[in-house]
């Protein structure tokens, strides 16, 4: 067991955080930067990126309760797209890397720039064709869909990010998006056995599920994410491949991060790297937690989830 190591790193970052807070406390409160835009408020654009395999998309227009500007459907399984919104642009790609590859592909084509017809505060929704209404419970922890208006509130707030799924637990502690990075990094998944729907595809035609990486940390080092997050003790994690963010966030990671993730996820159809990417979107696209945020996450800590698949999740009181 290596968990004593993780605990040691958690404890040391926690005490470092406490010192920092005491210091800031002495200095007095830091004034908040105003996020208000001068002049008349403009309704932000909302663009939607849909990862499609074979499910009808009619539910999307009911779920998204705001006016949508552009819709891109990235369709991978050579199937007809049913129920596509009228303005949708359909992009067909080879069947590799599932939704995470599709999102990385879309982000990579931005070329590290906010498009000239968009502003930093405009929204992008990433969703799959599967509305996940049939999600099953796992380890006593379950997730449910977050209503779109709540997602908009969160993504237009300081975090610039909203997860489309919210976890809850019947026993012991409230699951949070906060994850201890050191423990998250130990996540690995040697096989994927989900039987719900057609996700079970044992050793598909495109090679093995298992990656060459010992754990998620090794993958993060390889694609450059580890360096981006090196100052973070706690990061956000959003499971389920449905999230909302703003254009301002797409240009924050170092140049070519999206390309590197896209290339890594092209190895096969259902692959371990996809599960690493799933766990990285929130950390890459939300504003980094401040030390005060991190300390707050620990203040309400009840326990930390060490076992896969929720490695590092902070459950709060």
Q: In the complex, which residues of this chain contact ligand NAG (CB under 6 A)?
A: 43, 47, 66-67, 70, 78, 115, 117-118, 191, 193, 228, 230-231
Q: To the nearest whole angstrom, how small is the minimum distance from the Cβ of residue 228 to ligand NAG?
A: 5
Nearer to ligand NAG, 138 or 172 (CB): 138
Do the Cβ atoms of 152 and 164 come closer than 8 Å? Answer: no
SS3 content of the chain, % helix, strand, coil (to 5): 30, 20, 50
How many angstroms separate the CA atoms of 206 and 1, rounded? 34
Do the Cβ atoms of 134 and 59 come closer than 8 Å? Answer: no
How many angstroms separate the CA atoms of 278 and 270, rounded? 13
Q: Which helix (H) or strand (E) holds 316?
A: strand 313-316
Nearer to ligand NAG, 11 or 77 (CB): 77
Q: To the nearest whole angstrom, how small is the minimum distance from the Cβ of residue 58 to ligand NAG?
A: 19
Among candidate residues 192, 165, 185, the one with its CA nearest the CA of residue 280: 185
Q: To the nearest whole angstrom, how small is the minimum distance from the Cβ of residue 270 to ligand NAG?
A: 13
Nearer to ligand NAG, 230 or 317 (CB): 230
CB atoms within 10 A of CB 161: 24
Nearer to ligand NAG, 149 or 303 (CB): 149
Distances (CA, A) of 125 to 41, 98, 152, 245: 21, 17, 10, 7
Q: To the nearest whole angstrom, how small is the minimum distance from the Cβ of residue 284 to ligand NAG?
A: 12
Nearer to ligand NAG, 34 or 67 (CB): 67
Nearer to ligand NAG, 162 or 228 (CB): 228
Q: To the nearest whole angstrom, how small is the minimum distance from the Cβ of residue 163 to ligand NAG?
A: 22
Nearer to ligand NAG, 66 or 256 (CB): 66
Q: To the nearest whole angstrom, how small is the minimum distance from the Cβ of residue 223 to ligand NAG?
A: 15
CB atoms within 10 A of CB 111: 12
Distances (CA, A) of 242 to 119, 128, 209, 220, 267: 22, 7, 22, 21, 22
Do the Cβ atoms of 127 and 50 come closer than 8 Å? Answer: yes
Q: To the nearest whole angstrom, how small is the minimum distance from the Cβ of residue 133 to ligand NAG?
A: 23
My answer on whether omega of the bond before 19 falls inside 30° of 0, hence cis, is no
């Amino acid at each position: 067991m290596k968990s004593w190591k993780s605990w040691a790193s958690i404890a040391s970052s926690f005490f470092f955080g406490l010192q920092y807070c005491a210091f800031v406390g002495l200095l007095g409160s830091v004034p908040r930067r105003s996020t208000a835009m001068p002049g008349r408020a403009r309704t932000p654009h909302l663009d939607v990126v849909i990862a499609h395999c074979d499910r009808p998309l009619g539910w999307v227009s009911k779920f998204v309760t705001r006016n949508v500007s552009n819709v891109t459907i990235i369709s991978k399984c050579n199937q007809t797209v049913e129920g596509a919104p009228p303005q949708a642009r359909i992009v067909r790609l080879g069947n590799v890397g599932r939704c995470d590859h599709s999102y990385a592909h879309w982000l990579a084509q931005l070329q590290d720039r906010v498009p000239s017809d968009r502003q930093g505060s405009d929204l992008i929704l990433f969703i799959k064709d599967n509305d996940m209404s049939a999600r099953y419970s796992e380890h006593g922890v379950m997730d449910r869909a977050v209503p779109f208006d709540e997602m908009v509130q969160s993504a237009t707030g300081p975090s610039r990010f909203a997860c489309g799924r919210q976890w809850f637990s019947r026993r012991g502690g409230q699951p949070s998006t906060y994850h201890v990075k050191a423990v998250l990094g130990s996540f690995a998944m040697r096989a994927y056995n989900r039987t719900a729907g057609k996700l079970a595809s044992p050793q598909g035609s495109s090679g093995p599920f298992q990656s060459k990486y010992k754990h998620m940390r090794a993958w993060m080092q390889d694609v450059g994410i580890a360096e981006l997050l090196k100052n973070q003790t706690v990061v956000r994690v959003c499971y389920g491949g449905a999230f909302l963010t703003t254009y301002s966030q797409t240009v924050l990671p170092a140049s070519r991060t999206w390309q590197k993730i896209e290339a890594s996820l092209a190895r096969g159809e259902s692959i371990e790297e996809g599960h690493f990417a799933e766990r990285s979107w929130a950390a890459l696209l939300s504003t980094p937690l401040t030390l005060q945020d991190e300390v707050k996450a620990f203040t309400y800590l009840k326990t930390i989830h060490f076992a896969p698949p929720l490695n590092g999740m902070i459950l709060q009181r």
